[in-house]
Amino acid sequence: MLIPYPGPGWLIVFAGLGILASEFEWARRTLHWFRARYDSWNDWLSRQHWSVRVLTFVATTLLVLVTLWLVGALSTIADWLGFEDWTWVKSPFA
């Protein structure tokens, strides 16, 4: 769930696989495979027009916001800020 989030998502994946790779061959191969895909994605994205990069940023931001809405984090933040009457931020799973 953390992978689309800026920062910790991929760090957790790579750190966990790095620890497992010190003991298991399958984890080393998986780590190299993921690292190659991640590097090729970053290379591809850096070669794209600025509008593609902006669209990717907007899509990632929307994915993060929808995830936060679904798990109820947005309603918690609204409650902290005193917006208890904002029913549209309530998760459908609450």
| 85 against 40, higher pLDDT | 40
Q: pLDDT at position 58, please? A: 95
Q: Which pTM was predicted?
A: 0.69
Q: pLDDT at position 27, please? A: 93
Res. 7 pLDDT band, cuts 50 70 90? low
Distance CA 67, CA 91 (A): 10
Length of the chain equals: 94
What average pLDDT score do residues 71-85 get?
89
The token pair that represents 15 in the structure block: 């750190």
Q: pLDDT at position 64, please? A: 84
Res. 80 pLDDT band, cuts 50 70 90? very high
